Amino acid sequence: MTKGYAELLRLPGASTAAAPAALARLAGTMVPLSLLLATVHAGHSLAVAGSTGAGYALGGAVGGPVVGRLMDRTGPSRVLRVTAPLAALLLIAVALGAGTAPVPVLLGGAFAAGLTTAPVGASMRALWPHLTEDPALRQRAYSFEATLSETLFVLGPTAVTLFGALGDADSALLVAAALLGAGGLGFGQASAVRRRAGAGRHNGKGAPGAHAASAEAAGQAPARAAAVAVLVAIALTAALSTALAVAVTATLRDQGSPAEYAGTLVAVQSAGSVLGGLVYGARTWGGTTYRRYMRLLVVLTLALALLPLVRPAHAAGLDATWTAVLLGGLLLLSGLPMAPTGAEEFHLIGDMTAQEKATQAFAGVGSSIAVGGAAGSAAAGLVAERLGPTAALALPAAFTLAALLVSLAARGPILAAVTPPGPPGPATPPTPEHGEQLV
């Protein structure tokens, strides 16, 4: 299953860019939990600790697209030489000042750290089309990205827990800061990254987008409609993950099981997602990106729709232990299509985006994921409290169904945005709906 990814990483310049990028992205998955633990360890309330993490996330959501646009315009290396050490130093300052600095200073420091954290993951996704023109390898690259993201979201919090057990909470945040700075600088110095001069320095000879550059002359309304639809769908699929964590916790508490098991069960779904990503990336799948995405959304919706079955099973006499085992099995099943779905989301964004705007676009995806995740968690909490655990378990499938319906409603604009224009014939005027790009 990993053979396909090994072929991908053997592309010239791929591994030397992907390895430090993975370190920086691992740090990104460690920071929220390590910020929370370091702030609590310093004697602050959970409300302050949660606000610190929210400040970092908000800074990233605001700054990611801005820094991404700067990376596209001037080249990633130039930007990372400034942002990588700056973000690391700000996190170190928060860690060292957690016990003595006033709360507004802590919140401001966390926000500033998020604001200056460059979207390395977005830049890496934008780099793949520069490394290969093979459509099959590009498809595999987006599958690799989605699978890696799932893996890092398992490894990051686990590493924070280990550092907390072996040392103290502050050390986890310091390590995350060091990885963020070193990974960002290392990625910026990779040869393939340094070759990306930026749109502002191409002198008209920059690489075109995934499809024809003539899209600049095309009408932009369908492209914007397609971009909005895909970003909304991405936010909805992000919402399902955070909603699921709340729903699983509510279900365990309702049946008398320790709520701490929720983390283990959610990790089971992540493991299923990693497995699904490895299998999906091991081969090339036919059909258009849009059609593959729609099929995966259907499969994911159906798999998630099975989760509420654990409630009637428990009510029928299945004890709490076996109910948890049943829930774990259903979560593993529902995890299998998650990374492949994320891969096709990345592919759609890549197809409708000009390469000189790709980092900004993928950073916008990160902001959509952050907003969707926050909304999913809040919605699941309200549903669990007012309607009960069964309704909360049904919410992830509802989010995915909504993503499916949004994507179906925007089928025309999406297909127009991702369809490459054919060579214009002498008597055939160019069609304005083809080749439009995300702006």
State the DSSP string of 110-160.
HHHHHHT---HHHHHHHHHHHH---HHHHHHHHHHHHHHHHHHHHHHHHHH
Contacts of 45 (CB under 8 A, 6+ apart): none
The rounded distance, in Å, linking the Cα atoms of 126 and 128 is: 6
Confidence of residue 2 (pLDDT cuts 50, 70, 90): low
Closest residue by Cα to residue 188 from 317, 21, 327, 387: 21
Confidence of residue 160 (pLDDT cuts 50, 70, 90): confident
Radius of gyration for the chain, computed over Cα atoms and rounded to the nearest angstrom: 22
User: In this model, does residue 203 exceed pLDDT 60?
Assistant: no
pLDDT at position 198: 59
pTM of the model: 0.71
Q: What is the mean pLDDT of residues 128-147?
A: 84
pLDDT at position 222: 63
Q: What is the mean pLDDT of residues 285-294?
A: 88
Confidence of residue 154 (pLDDT cuts 50, 70, 90): confident
User: In this model, does residue 289 exceed pLDDT 50?
Assistant: yes
Query: In the predicted model, what is the mean pLDDT of the chain?
Result: 81
pLDDT at position 25: 92
CB 439 within 8 A of CB 219: no
Hunting for tokens 């697209």 — which residue is that?
A: 65
**411 vs 357 pLDDT, higher one:** 411
Q: Which of 117-131, 216-230, 286-300 has the lowest mean pLDDT?
A: 216-230
Alpha carbon of residue 229 to chain centroid: 17
Q: Where are the alpha helices (DSSP H) in 190-220?
A: 191-194
The model's pLDDT over 59-87, given as tens digits with 9 standing for 90+, comes to: 888 888 899 889 988 889 999 999 999 99
CB 252 within 8 A of CB 245: no
Contacts of 426 (CB under 8 A, 6+ apart): none
pLDDT at position 422: 47
**248 vs 295 pLDDT, higher one:** 295
